[in-house]
Amino acid sequence: MPYNNASEHRLVADYQTQVAIVGAGPVGLMMANYLGQMGIEVLLIEKLNTLIDYPRAIGIDDEALRTIQAIGLVDSVLPHTTPWHAMRFLTPKGRCFADIQPMTDEFGWSRRNAFIQPQVDAVLFEGLKRFPKVRSLFSRSLM
């Protein structure tokens, strides 16, 4: 139950959970889904008041898609991806130092895929509603 410590002007709360995850980014959301699927009590804590609405990454590989498949959300994520995403890395002077042409899918998914991260994060967050033991707290700081 929250209480106000007047001498420090902070709101402090005491929560009980089996696993606390700090950060509702893609890794935190994935872990909360995975643990929730296993029936583990999870508390997901995020400093911001909502999910970030801009991309911090543009590529997702086949291993990540298999992980998303394992938590039962790949069909909802795929509309936000583009398979066979080639990448070229250039030096500041424009010389290509890496040209990745991932024309293989021997493990079930295209090796490299473009994706729209805010939409995938939203799918992962919505997926948490499937698990009654997973709670999310936004606009929270840890001391």
Spell out the domain ranges in the chain: 19-137
- Per-residue model confidence (pLDDT) at position 5: 42
The Cα 75–Cα 120 span in angstroms is 11
Residue 73 DSSP class = -
How many contiguous H segments (helices) and E segments (strands) does the chain have? 4, 10
Output the tens digit of pLDDT for each of the chain's 143 residues: 444 444 444 567 788 999 999 999 999 999 999 999 999 999 999 999 999 999 988 889 999 999 999 999 999 999 999 998 887 889 999 999 988 887 777 778 888 899 999 999 999 999 999 999 999 999 998 87
As given in the structure block, the two tokens for residue 43 are 């508390």
Contact 138, 24 (CB under 8 A): yes
Question: In angstroms, what CA-CA distances link 84 with 35, 76, 101, 106, 120?
Answer: 30, 19, 8, 13, 18
Give the model's pLDDT for residue 11. Answer: 66
19-137 under CATH 1.10.10.10, yes or no: no
What pLDDT was estimated at residue 10? 58
47/2 Cα distance (integer angstroms) = 17
21's enclosing H/E stretch is strand 19-22
- pLDDT confidence of residue 85: 82
CA distance linking residue 130 with residue 114, whole number of Å: 27
Q: Which pLDDT score, from 0 to 100, does residue 69 have? A: 97
| Residues 21-55 pLDDT 10s | 999 999 999 999 999 999 999 999 999 999 999 99
User: Considering the entire predicted model, what is its pTM?
Assistant: 0.83
- Report the alpha-carbon distance of residue 108 to residue 72 in Å, rounded: 15
